[in-house]
C-alpha cells in the first residue's frame, strides 16, 4: 500500500507540473498585451515598457514560467491586472464558499443517488425502477444553470421559502443552510443521476452473484442480504464515481455560482476570463485542476483500501 | 431424380438474405421505446434546423416593439415574445440550427483528433506512453474547465466555443479508441495480415478502425448531448454566442432578468435544451445496448 501511495504521489507531481505548464502557456499565448490591460488606454509606450519590466514579461517564456512556479510553491499566484489584489488572497477569501457548495451538493448527490439506485435494483422493473431510471436520465440532461433558475422561480419567487441567491451566512447556521439548499440541489442533480445509474447496475450485478444466493439459501433475512452483504461490494465502483464526481462538482460550481450570485472561485474565474485578467484565470484554473487530481489520487487509494482484490502493480 | 430432390432441399434450406449490420442494429434500437422517443426528437430538431425559414413567420432578430413580453399562447406568437418583442418560436427554431451545427462540427473535429491519437496510441506501443500521458493531462481539467481555459486563451465567441469543445472531446475519444484497438489488434486475423506483409496504414484503416466503430458511434452520440449542453452553458456564462444570437443558452441568460415578469423567456429554451440532450443520451444508451452482441432482446 505504501508503495502505491508513493508511486501515485510522484505521478501526481508530474501531472501537476504538466497542468501548470498547460495553464501557463495557454495564458501566455492568449492575444492581448498584459501591459496594455494594466496600463489602460492612456498608458504611453514607456509606461507599458516599465510595466513589462516590472512583471518580468521581457524575460524568455521558460524563465517566466519558472519564476511563476517559484511563486506558486511559496503560495504566491501573482496579482490581478484589474484590482491589483493578490490572487492567492482573492482565492482564500472565496474558496470556503466553493468548497461548502461542492460538499453540500456531494451530500445531495450521494444520498439521493445511492438510495434511488439501490431501491431501483431491488425492485427491478417496478414502477419505481422505471420512473427513477427515466428521472436519472433526465437529471443528466437538465442544464444545471436552467435548473437553478427554475428552482429560484418556484422556491424563491413564487413560494418565497428560500433566498434567491448569495452565500454569506456561515453554513452551520439556519440562514446559511437555507442559502445552500437550492445551489446544492442544482449542482448535485446531475451527479445524483450518475450515481443512481451506477449504484443500480452494480447492485444488480452483485445480487445475482453466488455468494448472495448462498446467503439467501442459508436463510439470511433479505434486509441483511441487501444492506450487509450486497451493499458493501456494490459500493466499491460507486466510490470511484463519487470521487470523480466530486472533482467535476468543483468544476461545476463555476456555473452554479453564477446563477446564485455566490462569491466563489468560479465567479472569480468567469470575471477573470471576461476581463482577460490572466493571473486570476491562471490561479483559479490551476487550483481547480490541482484539487481535481488530488481528489482522484485519494479516491484511488481509498479504492485500493476498500477492495483488497485491486492491485495497481 | 436424386439430384432433383437434393436441389429441392437446397432451395428449401436456402438461407434468408443476410441483413446488413446497420439494419440489425436499427431493428434492435427501435425495440427500445426511449431510444425511439429520442430519435423522434432528434429528427424534429434536424427538420427545424434545415427548414427554419419555412416554418416560422418572423426573422429571429425581428423586433415587434408593440408586442413585447407576450406570454405563451398569445395570438400569432404561440410561444410568446421576449423583452424586445422577438417571437420565441422563431428564435427557438433558429437556435436549434445553432446547437446542431455547433454540436456536429465539434463532435466531428473531436472525433478526428481522438480517433487519430487513439489509433496511434493503441497500435504503436512506442507512441502509447507519450500520447496517453498527454491525454491524461487533458483529463486533469474537470468538466467544462478545459473548454473555459481555451476560451480564456482565444476570446469569447461561438467559433471559439467550437474549437474549445472539439479539443475537450479529444481525450475521451482517444481513450475509448485506444482501448478498442488494443483488444482488436490481438485478434488472429490482424496477426495474419501482418505476417502477409500488409502495410500498417492498411491494417489500421481497413481492418482495425471498422472494428472500433461501435464504441465510437456510442461516444459520438453521447458527446452530442454533452456538446449541446456545454455550448449552452458557455453562452449562458457569456463566453459563447453573444446577443442577439438565438442560441438557447444565451436566450436563458437574457431571460433571467425577466424571470419575474416573463418566466417563459427562461422556461422555453431550457425545455428545448433538456429535450434534445435527453434525446441524444437515450439514443446513445440504446445504441450501446443495440451494438452489444451479448444483449438479449425480446421479440
Weakest mean pLDDT among A283-297, B2-16, B67-81 = B2-16
Asked if residue B10 has pLDDT above 60, the reply is no
pLDDT value at residue B91: 96
The sign of the dihedral angle between the CA atoms of B234, B140, B124, B206 is negative
Of B143, B225, B259, which is closest to A149 when you measure between CB atoms?
B259
* Percentage of residues of chain A with pLDDT beyond 90: 31
Q: Which residues contact A87 (CB under 8 A, 6 or more apart)?
A: A77, A78, A79, A80, A279, A280, A282, A283, A284
Complex ipTM, two decimals? 0.83
Largest CA distance in chain B: 91
pLDDT 10s digits, A57-88: 888 889 999 999 999 999 999 899 888 899 99
Q: Which residues contact B171 (CB under 8 A, 6 or more apart)?
A: B114, B135, B136, B138, B139
Q: Which residues contact A222 (CB under 8 A, 6 or more apart)?
A: A216
How does residue A9 score in pLDDT terms, banded at 50, 70 and 90?
confident
Q: Which residue is associated with the grid cell 451566512?
A: A169
pLDDT value at residue B299: 41
> Which of B35, B103, B141, B142 should be substituted to probe chain A, the one whose Cβ sees the most A Cβ atoms within 10 Å?
B142
Instruction: For residue A68, give the 3-state DSSP assignment.
Output: helix
Q: Angle at which helices A87-122 and A278-306 pack, to 10 degrees?
A: 40
Residues of B with a Cβ under 8 Å from any A Cβ are 34, 133, 136-137, 140-145, 148-156, 225, 229, 232-233, 236-239, 249, 252, 255-256, 259-260, 263, 266-267, 269-270, 273-274, 277-278, 281-282, 285
How does residue B141 score in pLDDT terms, banded at 50, 70 and 90?
confident
Q: Which residues contact A118 (CB under 8 A, 6 or more apart)?
A: A199, A200, A203, A226, A231, A234
Q: Which residues of A touch B274 (CB under 8 A)?
A: 138, 141-143, 146
Q: How far is B210 from chain A (nearest CA, A)?
A: 29
* A254 interface with B at CB cutoff 8 Å: yes
Nearest CA in chain B to A152: B259
Nearest CA in chain A to B285: A137
Q: Do A289 and B145 touch (CB under 8 A)?
A: yes
pLDDT value at residue A8: 81
Q: A57 with A34: CB under 8 angstroms?
A: yes
Asked if residue B140 has pLDDT above 50, the reply is yes
pLDDT value at residue A108: 93
Nearest CA in chain B to A25: B153
How does residue B7 score in pLDDT terms, banded at 50, 70 and 90?
low
pLDDT 10s digits, B145-172: 888 889 888 888 899 999 999 999 999 9
pLDDT value at residue B12: 55
Asked if residue B5 has pLDDT above 90, the reply is no
Asked if residue B18 has pLDDT above 90, the reply is no
pLDDT 10s digits, A25-59: 988 888 777 787 777 778 888 888 888 888 788 88
Cis ω for the linkage preceding B37 (within 30 of 0): no
Q: How far is A54 from chain B (nearest CA, A)?
A: 23
Domain ranges of chain B: 21-63+78-290
Of B143, B273, B285, which is closest to A251 when you measure between CB atoms?
B143
CATH of domain A88-306: 1.10.3720.10
Q: Do A255 and B237 touch (CB under 8 A)?
A: yes
Q: How far is A255 from chain B (nearest CA, A)?
A: 7
pLDDT 10s digits, A231-274: 888 888 788 778 777 777 887 888 899 999 999 998 999 888 88
Give this prediction's pTM: 0.86
Instruction: For residue B240, give the 3-state DSSP assignment.
Output: coil
Q: What is d(CA B18, CA B111) in angstroms, rounded to the nearest whole number?
A: 31
Asked if residue A150 has pLDDT above 60, the reply is yes
Q: What is d(CA A159, CA B118) in angstroms, rounded to the nearest whole number?
A: 52
Q: A28 with A64: CB under 8 angstroms?
A: yes
Domain ranges of chain A: 88-306
Nearest CA in chain B to A244: B142
Q: What is the mean pLDDT of residues A79-107?
A: 91
Instruction: Identify which of A141, A98, A110 has the alpha carbon closest to the alpha carbon of residue A256.
Output: A98
Q: What is d(CA A280, CA A271) in angstroms, rounded to the nearest whole number?
A: 9
Q: A198 with A238: CB under 8 angstroms?
A: yes
Q: What is the dihedral of CA A164, A167, A173, A174, to 10 degrees?
A: 10
CATH topology of domain B21-63+78-290: MetI-like fold (1.10.3720)
* Percentage of residues of chain B with pLDDT beyond 70: 92
Instruction: Identify which of A104, A110, A92, A111 has the alpha carbon closest to the alpha carbon of residue A171.
Output: A104
> Which of B143, B228, B249, B270 should be substituted to probe chain A, the one whose Cβ sees the most A Cβ atoms within 10 Å?
B143
Q: What is the mean pLDDT of residues A296-300?
A: 82
- Category of A40 on φ-ψ map: left (φ > 0), alpha (ψ -120 to 50) or beta: left
- Average pLDDT over all residues of chain B: 88
**Half-sphere exposure (Cβ direction) of B38: Cα atoms closer than 13 Å:** 27
pLDDT 10s digits, B72-93: 999 889 999 999 999 999 999 9
Q: B122 with B185: CB under 8 angstroms?
A: yes
How does residue B298 score in pLDDT terms, banded at 50, 70 and 90?
very low
Instruction: Identify which of A164, A161, A158 has the alpha carbon closest to the alpha carbon of residue A186.
Output: A164
Q: Do A141 and B281 touch (CB under 8 A)?
A: yes
First to last CA, chain A: 10
pLDDT 10s digits, B174-195: 999 999 999 888 888 888 988 9
Q: What is the mean pLDDT of residues A185-211?
A: 89
Q: What is d(CA B84, CA B46) in angstroms, rounded to the nearest whole number?
A: 27
pLDDT 10s digits, B207-252: 899 888 888 999 999 999 999 999 999 999 888 888 889 999 999 9
Q: What is the mean pLDDT of residues B114-123?
A: 94
Q: Which residues contact A117 (CB under 8 A, 6 or more apart)?
A: A132, A195, A196, A197, A198, A199, A200, A203, A238
Asked if residue B17 has pLDDT above 80, the reply is no
Q: What is the DSSP letter of B14?
A: P
Q: Which residue is associated with the grid cell 485478434?
A: B187
pLDDT value at residue A243: 77
> Which of B132, B144, B147, B152 should be substituted to probe chain A, the one whose Cβ sees the most A Cβ atoms within 10 Å?
B152
| Residue environment code for A273-310, b if the CB has 16+ CB neighbours within 10 A, otherwise e | beebbbbbbbbbbbbbbbbbbebbbebbbebbeeeeee
Q: How far is B207 from chain A (nearest CA, A)?
A: 32
Q: Which residues contact A285 (CB under 8 A, 6 or more apart)?
A: A23, A269, B141, B145, B148, B149, B152
Q: What is d(CA A55, CA A42) in angstroms, rounded to the nearest whole number?
A: 19
Q: What is the DSSP letter of A156?
A: I
* A26 interface with B at CB cutoff 8 Å: yes
Amino acid at each position: 500500500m505504501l508503495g502505491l501511495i508513493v508511486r501515485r504521489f510522484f505521478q501526481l507531481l508530474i501531472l501537476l507540473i504538466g497542468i501548470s505548464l498547460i495553464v501557463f502557456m495557454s495564458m501566455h499565448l492568449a492575444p492581448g498585451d498584459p501591459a496594455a490591460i494594466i496600463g489602460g488606454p492612456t498608458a504611453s509606450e514607456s509606461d507599458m515598457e516599465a510595466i513589462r519590466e516590472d512583471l518580468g514579461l521581457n524575460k524568455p517564456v521558460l524563465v517566466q514560467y519558472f519564476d511563476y512556479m517559484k511563486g506558486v510553491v511559496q503560495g504566491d499566484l501573482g496579482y490581478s491586472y484589474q484590482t491589483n489584489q493578490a490572487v492567492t488572497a482573492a482565492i482564500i477569501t472565496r474558496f470556503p464558499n466553493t468548497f461548502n457548495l461542492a460538499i453540500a451538493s456531494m451530500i445531495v448527490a450521494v444520498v439521493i443517488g445511492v438510495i434511488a439506485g439501490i431501491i431501483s435494483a431491488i425492485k427491478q422493473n417496478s414502477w419505481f425502477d422505471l420512473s427513477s431510471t427515466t428521472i436519472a436520465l433526465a437529471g443528466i440532461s437538465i442544464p444545471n444553470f436552467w435548473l437553478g433558475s427554475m428552482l429560484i422561480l418556484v422556491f424563491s419567487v413564487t413560494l418565497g421559502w428560500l433566498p434567491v441567491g448569495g452565500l454569506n451566512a456561515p453554513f452551520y447556521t439556519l440562514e446559511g443552510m437555507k442559502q445552500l439548499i437550492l445551489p446544492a440541489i442544482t449542482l448535485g442533480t446531475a451527479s445524483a443521476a450518475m450515481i443512481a445509474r451506477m449504484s443500480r447496475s452494480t447492485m444488480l450485478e452483485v445480487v445475482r452473484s453466488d455468494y448472495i444466493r448462498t446467503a439467501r439459501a442459508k436463510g439470511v433475512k433479505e434486509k441483511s442480504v441487501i444492506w450487509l452483504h450486497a451493499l458493501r461490494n456494490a459500493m466499491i465502483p460507486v466510490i470511484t464515481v463519487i470521487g470523480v464526481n466530486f472533482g467535476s462538482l468543483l468544476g461545476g460550481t463555476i456555473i452554479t455560482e453564477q446563477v446564485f450570485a455566490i462569491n466563489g472561485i468560479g465567479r472569480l474565474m468567469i470575471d477573470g476570463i471576461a476581463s482577460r485578467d490572466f493571473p486570476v484565470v491562471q490561479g483559479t484554473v490551476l487550483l481547480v485542476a490541482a484539487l481535481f487530481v488530488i481528489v482522484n489520487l485519494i479516491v484511488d487509494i481509498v479504492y485500493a483500501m476498500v477492495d483488497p482484490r485491486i492491485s495497481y502493480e | 431424380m436424386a439430384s432433383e430432390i437434393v436441389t429441392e432441399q437446397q432451395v428449401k434450406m436456402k438461407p434468408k438474405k443476410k441483413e446488413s449490420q446497420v439494419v440489425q442494429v436499427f431493428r434492435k434500437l427501435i425495440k427500445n421505446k426511449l431510444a425511439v422517443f429520442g430519435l423522434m426528437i432528434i429528427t424534429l430538431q434536424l427538420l427545424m434546423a434545415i427548414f427554419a425559414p419555412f416554418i416560422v413567420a418572423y426573422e429571429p432578430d425581428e423586433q415587434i416593439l408593440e408586442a413585447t413580453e407576450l406570454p405563451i399562447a398569445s395570438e400569432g406568437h404561440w410561444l410568446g415574445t421576449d423583452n424586445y418583442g422577438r417571437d420565441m418560436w422563431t428564435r427557438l427554431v433558429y437556435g436549434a440550427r445553432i446547437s446542431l451545427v455547433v454540436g456536429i462540427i465539434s463532435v466531428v473535429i473531436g472525433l478526428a483528433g481522438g480517433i487519430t491519437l487513439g489509433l496511434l496510441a493503441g497500435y504503436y506501443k512506442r507512441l502509447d506512453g507519450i500520447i496517453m500521458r498527454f491525454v491524461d493531462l487533458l483529463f486533469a481539467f474537470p468538466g467544462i474547465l478545459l473548454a473555459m481555459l481555451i476560451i480564456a486563451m482565444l476570446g469569447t465567441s461561438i467559433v471559439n466555443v467550437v474549437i474549445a469543445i472539439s479539443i475537450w472531446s479529444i481525450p475521451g475519444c482517444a481513450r475509448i479508441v485506444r482501448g478498442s484497438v488494443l483488444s482488436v489488434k490481438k485478434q488472429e486475423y490482424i496477426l495474419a495480415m501482418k505476417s502477409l506483409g500488409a502495410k500498417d496504414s492498411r491494417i489500421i484503416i481497413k481492418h482495425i478502425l471498422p472494428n472500433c466503430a461501435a464504441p465510437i458511434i456510442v461516444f459520438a452520440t453521447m458527446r452530442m448531448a454533452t456538446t449541446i449542453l456545454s455550448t449552452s452553458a458557455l453562452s449562458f456564462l457569456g463566453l459563447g454566442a453573444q446577443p442577439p444570437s438565438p442560441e438557447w443558452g444565451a436566450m436563458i441568460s437574457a431571460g433571467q432578468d425577466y424571470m419575474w415578469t416573463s418566466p417563459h423567456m427562461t422556461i422555453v429554451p431550457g425545455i428545448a435544451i433538456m429535450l434534445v440532450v435527453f434525446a441524444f443520451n437515450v439514443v446513445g444508451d440504446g445504441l450501446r445496448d443495440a451494438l452489444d452482441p451479448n444483449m438479449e432482446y425480446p421479440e
